[in-house]
Amino acid sequence: MALTVNGAPVPVPTDPRVSLLDLLRERLDLTGTKKGCNQGACGACTVLLDGERVLSCLTLAVQADGRSVTTIEGLVEGAMHPLQQAFIEHDGFQCGYCTPGQICSAVAMVEEWRRGSPSNVTQDLADSAIELTHDELRERMSGNLCRCGAHNGIVDAIVATYVTEGAR
């Protein structure tokens, strides 16, 4: 049994109780993924599982068997991901603890939006071209908390990367 983490094969731990978060941080030294609440409330541990955002604290490593995990480290391809650069330019963090989860979550959130998936604040569920308004964006990112209060900068960074710039 094995999974792929940032393109590299990794054996699934023999202990089925190991969370994906602990596998990443404690056994693979991928400490970019953060442990905040460890109970699904803060979003700091968000990673991509086959491109979808998941809370790695609530995901068992064994559930990722045969699947592909991407962490914040895996988003870097030679240079910083455009959204990482935008977080710097738009002051999207203070302490930075929530930032890897925010960025992984936003990368997947944008794909959900592009597929036309509605959110809790989408007015017209039949709308195939939902506008990523301020309310839509904040609702779709509401699972990722920032205790420093950098939410305005986070929203600005996402808008600059995916709405203003358009196609990244």
DSSP bridge pairs for 5: 8, 69
Among 107, 150, 158, 160, contact with ligand FES (rule: CB under 6 A) = 150
Among residues 69 and 98, whose Cβ is nearest to ligand FES? 98
User: What is the total residue count of the chain?
Assistant: 168
Packed helices 99-114 and 82-89: angle between N→C axes, nearest 10 degrees: 120
User: What is the SS3 assignment for 68?
Assistant: strand
User: What is the SS3 assignment for 125?
Assistant: coil
Among 10, 68, 85, 96, contact with ligand FES (rule: CB under 6 A) = 96
Among 49, 60, 87, 93, contact with ligand FES (rule: CB under 6 A) = 93
Among 4, 31, 63, 94, contact with ligand FES (rule: CB under 6 A) = 94
Among 2, 76, 80, 95, contact with ligand FES (rule: CB under 6 A) = 95
Among residues 98 and 130, whose Cβ is nearest to ligand FES? 98
Contact 48, 107 (CB under 8 A): yes
Q: How many CB atoms lie within 10 A of CB 159?
A: 17
Per CB under 6 A, contacts with ligand FES among 21-40 are: 35-38, 40
Q: What is the largest CA-CA distance in the chain?
A: 47
Residues that bind ligand FES (CB under 6 A): 35-38, 40-45, 55, 57, 93-99, 146-148, 150
